[in-house]
A and B are shown apart, each in its own frame.
Chain A
Amino acid sequence: MSVGKEFIKGMVRENPVFRLLLGLCPVLATSSSVMNAIGMGVSVIFVLVASNTLVSLLRNFIPPKIRIPIYISIIATFVTVVDLIMAGFFPDLHKSLGMFIKLIVVNCIILGRAEAFASKNNTFYAIIDGLGMGIGFTFSMIIIATIRELLGNGTWLNMPVFGTQFEPVLIFVLAPGAFITLGFIIGGMNWLDHRRAAIATKS
């Protein structure tokens, strides 16, 4: 087990959004602008690292039969912390992310990493895993949000990109646009994989 490998795997090979297809609800719902994507991503990184750390520390004390409710309690606690801090210090971001901060509790990535990784590995690797997965999640969110905000609003991070002549393609900031964008990105990644595999078999 190498530190680098555990950290990198969340970016591409086991990317939570494009590869594991986990936690798609917040991805689809809050990727309509880059600012929201960053806010959501940072919140997820915090909750993921914190819950991974705690689950890993407690892994020898948690009775296996009631591990899920305990994981959920831990995750819910950290999510509430994020929610309160955001409400107090970043009210605008809190307003636009709304319900979805609270919904991080049911984000499958976090419970998934607790169950699949943190409960079986030591704390150091659990933190690395949480960081890698969290950054991979944020990175994917920013890619989707960039496409959606550019096309659907004509801006990037609220800065106008196209001239006033551009009539925004509204569907991209609405729900169907999120599905279309995600579908094409996943399709593109699979296509790249097939190509790579084909080249590998040829040589």
Chain B
Amino acid sequence: MKEIFKFALVLGLVTGIAACALGVVNQITQPRIALQQQLALNAGLYRVLPGSENGCIIEQHLDGLNMYYTGYLNRDTTDFIGYALPVESKGYSSTIRTLVGLDSLRNIISLKILFQQETPGLGTKCEEVRPGETEPWFQYQFKGLFVPDVALDKNGGSIHCITGATITSAAITDAVKESSVKLFSEL
């Protein structure tokens, strides 16, 4: 019986010291991590709301909908650019996180995939930049599309499927359309 108390004490001591050490490391790294996440998000937001890097972006919330952002060309929020909407969709092997920029006329300004871990060489081609081009071709196809018209070519739309990765293509396309339609119906 006596041994058990000794063991508990030693284990408690070890885990206690470990917890304290981790607390300190967390204190030091937390602001850095938050900064990195902010930087990654900002890079995406500036991309889908061009011009907002000199203006401002405001986080918005709607009942029953995830948050979205509104972007302005100037700091006193009078010159409206559009909305930025984070979209999540279930791809073939990962959850794909996409950021969609939309103007007030329901056109897609631009699309940026923030995170995906699809099958290398197939689904990952949603971020592929073809030789001689500067933008990923799959995402570029969404530029300027009217939201209700967004659809894959096999379903009568204009978005070309990624060869061999129908599930990834459909997941992104469907989720972008669905979330955007929902946003405009709630606004």
Touch between A and B in complex, CB under 8 Å? yes
> Which residues in A have some Cβ–Cβ distance to B below 8 Å?
32, 61-63, 65-66, 69-70, 73-74, 76-77, 80-81, 84-85, 87-89, 91, 95, 98, 152-153, 164, 168, 170, 173-174
Complex: how many Å from CA A87 to CA B35?
10
Q: With an 8 A cutoff between CB atoms, is B121 at the interface?
A: yes
**Which residues of B have CB within 8 Å of A80?**
22, 25
* CB of B37, distance to nearest CB on chain A (Å): 8
Nearest neighbor of A89 in chain B, beta-carbon distance: B32
Q: List 16 A-B contacts (CB under 8 A).
A: A63-B7, A66-B7, A73-B18, A74-B18, A80-B25, A81-B21, A84-B26, A84-B29, A88-B33, A88-B35, A88-B36, A95-B115, A152-B120, A153-B120, A170-B120, A174-B120
* CB of A53, distance to nearest CB on chain B (Å): 14
Task: From B9-17, B54-62, B103-111, B151-159, give the one contacting chain A.
Answer: B9-17
> CB within 8 A of A70: which of B10, B25, B37?
B10
**Which residues of A have CB within 8 Å of B11?**
66, 69-70, 73
B: interface residue count bin = 20 to 34
Report whether over half of chain A's contact residues are helix, strand or loop; otherwise say mixed: helix
- Are the C-beta atoms of A87 and B36 separated by less than 8 Å? yes
Whether A168 touches B36, Cβ cut-off 8 Å, given contacts A77-B21, A88-B29, A95-B115, is no
**Which residues of A have CB within 8 Å of B30?**
88
* CB of A26, distance to nearest CB on chain B (Å): 16
